[in-house]
Chains A and B, each alone.
Chain A
Amino acid sequence: MARWTAGIVALWALLGTARAETVRYMHPHPMPAGVVKGMCHIEGSHIHSFKPHEPLLYVEVEGQYAFIGDHTEFAPEEPKHAYYGHHPVFWVGDEGGEPQHYCYITGPHYHLYAPPAQLKFTTRGGAYWFVGAHPGWYRKRHRRYRAVDRHYAHVHITRPVVTVEPPEGFVGIYIGPRGRARVHGGVGLGVHVVPPPPGIDVNIHLPGVGVVFGGGPRGRGVAHPHPVYKKKRGKAWGKAWGHRKIKVKRKGKWK
């Protein structure tokens, strides 16, 4: 009878846990503002009872969410490494294998990790630049991930200041020290655009002709055919979570 009782108790416990939501994550990621401000520091695979706060900034790999955005939006005080332009997301996937995901943040930004030696990154102006060849799926997925730039245009983050010319081999949009941007590499030579430093009132207008990575008409691999950095009049965009004073109710008290 005792065994039977224990079995029923175990079954009840299992059914109880089945109702709770289990979401799988890998590596550190931002915590939802409603839970706590800052990052989750668990390395490797782990689970939480909540879904990603901003799915756009995550990729899903084997049922696990991995954060690929700029973590300084949520935790400005965390360690960081400066990057410039698009690059492979090397911290997701098999170690030593070909990266299967890309970071599509245009211009200077930060990540938690420094790049591994086997990938073609070069350091210039205090930032890492990817100077290797982009994979075949790079352009196709870029269309899907353009919203990433829109996201970062609407939050206030402190970007690394990079005022040097891009290194040889870099393909992407380069924003010069005076705020002039141009497409570097590919065939889009000398196309100057108004830059999009985050938090500043500017518009970016890239002409549809020739602003491509590796050639092609408008609509096929065009870097930014439409203005992506829009700013309405008035104050700067809302503060990033890492800069907000978010109060969380814990043990009946607001902290």
Chain B
Amino acid sequence: MPKLSLVLLAAALIAGCKKDEKGAGTGSGAPAAVPQASHVSHAQQVSSALEKTGLKPSAPFEQAAARPYEARTCARGEIDRLDVLVCDYDGEPKASKGEQLMEQFASGAVSGAVRRSGSRVLAVADRSKVDLHGEGINRVLKAFAGGK
């Protein structure tokens, strides 16, 4: 009986992993993006907010796991082939703490940065080494800071 339960557990884990792989982004070190119909509006909000600052997402923003960053909601997408995660927090103190947690998103990439604007935190990571001089990352950070 215990053997059977172990086999079932392993099968469930494998099935779960395969399901998550479908929604995963390009990043190797960050939690996978999990599209959810109920949160699409938030991802769209983030996308349009970034567009207002002059940044054009090269891949659509999708809902991402918020729990690792202790955020309310997170959306993940690409801008100029840079991996971008935007998380919203319930207030600035939580966002300030989340700023540190969101460094995990950029770690593992050759370059990355995290910025906070009010209760919204943005993390950007160059995983595919397309911005080795950091000009693209700097442009994203400036646009985010300017579009408060």
Interface residues of A (CB under 8 A from B): 1-2, 5-6, 8-10, 13-14, 16-18, 20, 22, 28, 31, 35-36, 38-50, 250
Q: Select which of A1, A6, A9, A41 is within 8 A of B134 by beta carbon.
A: A41
Quick check: A14 and B20 within 8 Å, CB to CB? no
Provided the pairs A5-B12, A49-B110 are in contact, do residues A17 and B133 lie with their beta carbons within 8 angstroms? no
Q: Select which of A13, A38, A44 is within 8 A of B133 by beta carbon.
A: A38
Q: Select which of B104, B108, B133 is within 8 A of A31 by beta carbon.
A: B133
Provided the pairs A9-B20, A9-B31, A20-B29 are in contact, do residues A46 and B137 lie with their beta carbons within 8 angstroms? yes
Q: Is B49 an interface residue (CB 8 A)?
A: no
Query: In whole angstroms, how far apart are the Cα atoms of A47 and B106 in the complex?
Result: 8
Over the window 6-46 of chain B, the binary record of Cβ atoms lying under 8 Å from chain A Cβ atoms (1 yes, 0 no) is 00000011001100100000001111101000000000000
User: Across chains A and B, which 3 residue pairs bring their CB atoms closest together, nearest first?
Assistant: A5-B16, A17-B29, A46-B113
CB-based A-B contact count at 8 angstroms? 98
Quick check: A14 and B133 within 8 Å, CB to CB? no
Quick check: B16 and A1 within 8 Å, CB to CB? yes
Can you name 14 extra interface pairs (CB under 8 A) apart from A9-B32, A41-B134? A1-B16, A5-B20, A8-B13, A9-B16, A17-B108, A20-B107, A22-B106, A35-B132, A39-B133, A41-B135, A42-B138, A44-B141, A48-B110, A48-B112
Q: Which residues of B contact A5 (CB under 8 A)?
A: 12-13, 16-17, 20
Shortest beta-carbon distance, B22 to chain A, in Å?
12
Provided the pairs A5-B13, A8-B13 are in contact, do residues A46 and B133 lie with their beta carbons within 8 angstroms? no
Provided the pairs A5-B17, A17-B108, A20-B107 are in contact, do residues A42 and B31 lie with their beta carbons within 8 angstroms? no
Quick check: A46 and B134 within 8 Å, CB to CB? yes
Q: What count of chain B residues pass the 8 Å CB interface test?
A: 34
Quick check: B133 and A40 within 8 Å, CB to CB? yes
Query: In whole angstroms, how far apart are the Cα atoms of A139 and B98 in the complex?
Result: 41
Over the window 52-79 of chain B, the binary record of Cβ atoms lying under 8 Å from chain A Cβ atoms (1 yes, 0 no) is 0000000000000101100000000000
Q: Select which of A35, A38, A43 is within 8 A of B110 by beta carbon.
A: A35
Quick check: A6 and B16 within 8 Å, CB to CB? yes
Quick check: B111 and A40 within 8 Å, CB to CB? yes
Q: Which residues of A contact B132 (CB under 8 A)?
A: 31, 35-36, 40
Q: Which residues of A contact B107 (CB under 8 A)?
A: 17-18, 20, 22, 47, 49
- Please name 19 pairs of A and B residues whose Cβ atoms are closer than 8 Å in the assembled complex, sorted by A: A2-B16, A6-B20, A8-B16, A9-B31, A14-B68, A14-B104, A17-B108, A22-B108, A36-B132, A40-B111, A40-B134, A41-B134, A44-B113, A44-B115, A46-B112, A47-B103, A47-B106, A47-B107, A48-B111
Using CB atoms, name the residue of chain A closest to B21.
Answer: A9
Provided the pairs A5-B16, A6-B20, A20-B107 are in contact, do residues A43 and B138 lie with their beta carbons within 8 angstroms? yes
CB proximity to A under 8 Å, residues B93-148? 103-104, 106-113, 115, 129, 132-135, 137-138, 141-142
Q: Which residues of A contact B112 (CB under 8 A)?
A: 46-48
Q: Which residues of B contact A16 (CB under 8 A)?
A: 28-29, 108
Using CB atoms, name the residue of chain A closest to B16.
Answer: A5
Provided the pairs A5-B16, A43-B141 are in contact, do residues A10 and B134 lie with their beta carbons within 8 angstroms? no
Q: Which residues of B contact A31 (CB under 8 A)?
A: 132-133
Q: Which residues of B contact A35 (CB under 8 A)?
A: 110, 132
Q: Which residues of A contact B142 (CB under 8 A)?
A: 43
Query: In whole angstroms, how far apart are the Cα atoms of A109 and B16 in the complex?
Result: 59
Q: Which residues of A contact B113 (CB under 8 A)?
A: 42, 44-47
Using CB atoms, name the residue of chain B closest to A23.
Answer: B107
Query: In whole angstroms, how far apart are the Cα atoms of A41 and B126 in the complex?
Result: 13
Give the one of A28, A40, A44, A47 with max B CB within 10 A: A47
